[in-house]
Structures are given as C-alpha cells and as structure tokens.
Amino acid sequence: MNRHPVIAIDGPAAAGKGTLARRLAEALGLPYLDTGLLYRAVGRRVLDEGGDPSDPGSAERAALGLHPDDLQRNDLRGPEADAAASAVAAIPGVRAALLDFQRNFAALRGAVLDGRDIGTVIFPNASVKLFVTATEQERARRRWLEMRAKGHEVALSAVEQELHARDVRDAGRDAAPLCAAPDAFVLDTTHIDADAAFSVALAEVKARL
C-alpha cells in the first residue's frame, strides 16, 4: 500500500458520499475530510454578514478568513446552507482559497476526502477515485428522509427541486464542475443500501491500492 494513500470520493448531492467516506476512512485508518463543509462554512460566513453568497467579493473575503472552528458550527446543513454553499462554490477565488487547506490535510498521513472535484482538481493523482451516484429521485428521497428524521417537515417535491437546482449549478459551473474523473470507479447506489455500497467500495479500494 502507498504510504500516504489519498482516496477521492466525488458525486452529486445526497448520493451517500459522506457515510461511505467516513466508513472507508475508519476501515483504512485514515483521516477524513468532508470538503462540502468548507463551502458550507464560507456560505454561512457571508450570510452572517448579511451578504449575497453569489457575490465574488464577499465570498472570497469569507473564504480567506475561514477558521477551522467555522467547520464545527451546527448550522451548516439545511436548505439555506445548501444553497449558499453551492453559490460560493461556483466562484473561482473561493475554490482557490480552499485548495491548500485540502491538499495539506492529506499531506501527513494521506486521507479520505469527499466532495465534487477531489479526483479531478484537488488530487488528480489520488490513489483511488470513486464517483458515487444514484438517480435524482432516490437521492431526493434519501435527503427527505434524513430531514424528517431531524424533525424538519418538508415536502418531498421541495427537496427534489432544491437538489435538482444544486446539481445543475454544480455540474454546469465553469470552475471545477461536478464530473467523474475518467479513471474513477463509478458506484451507482440507487438499488443498494449503505452496507452494500461500503462492501463494494472497500473491495475496489483494496484492489486499487
């Protein structure tokens, strides 16, 4: 095994990347970084100041001022944070400001990172790249169940719309658009549960390392 393996896990919203990445990290004894939190925290900082997350000046300032403590906030999830994250994430200056943090995170011991551009931009030479996906309908259903479990009463159709809008923006932007790296293993989890996804992914990772 590579001494410092980097496992890149990309995919669209609510595909199950986080759960999978966390479990892989634990199984492999590697640190884990949810890179979506970085964009979420930048979006939050802009909202805190009463700014517009799609304004490049405000978003870049927020990204440059990001502090590791910001990732611990408990208001980084939910529709408002989702939309703000996706808006700041389309701004090249924001992505540039977050690049070193992500690369440094894996420098010491390797890492498992999940996001949208880990295998394409942040670590194009990652030891293993997985692209985790599922149909839009299934992903919306999972996010809806997740929200209900947290006590948020929302309509499934509203979650579907929000997820669709975010996917379109993430995949259509010029800066590091969401897409599978050519050498990524594509894992479609539409018809399999989290345990099965983990088994398939772990076998693929072990085969590739």
Where along the sequence are the contacts to ligand CDP (CB under 6 A)? Answer: 13-14, 18, 35-36, 39-40, 82, 85-86, 89, 115-118, 166, 170
**Closer CB to ligand CDP, 20 or 118, in the complex:** 118
Smallest gap, in angstroms, from Cβ of residue 150 to ligand CDP?
13
Smallest gap, in angstroms, from Cβ of residue 26 to ligand CDP?
19
Smallest gap, in angstroms, from Cβ of residue 170 to ligand CDP?
5
Smallest gap, in angstroms, from Cβ of residue 198 to ligand CDP?
17
Smallest gap, in angstroms, from Cβ of residue 71 to ligand CDP?
11
Task: Map the chain to HEC letters.
Answer: CCCCCEEEEECCCCCCHHHHHHHHHHHHCCCEEECHHHHHHHHHHHHHCCCCCCCHHHHHHHHHCCCHHHHHCCCCCCHHHHHHHHHHHCCHHHHHHHHHHHHHHHHCCCEEEEECCHHHHHCCCCCEEEEEECCHHHHHHHHHHHHHHCCCCCCHHHHHHHHHHHHHHHHHCCCCCCCCCCCCEEEECCCCCHHHHHHHHHHHHHHHC
**Closer CB to ligand CDP, 107 or 203, in the complex:** 107
**Closer CB to ligand CDP, 70 or 117, in the complex:** 117
CB-closest chain residue to ligand CDP: 36
Q: Which amino acid is at 182?
A: P
**Closer CB to ligand CDP, 28 or 76, in the complex:** 76
**Closer CB to ligand CDP, 1 or 125, in the complex:** 125
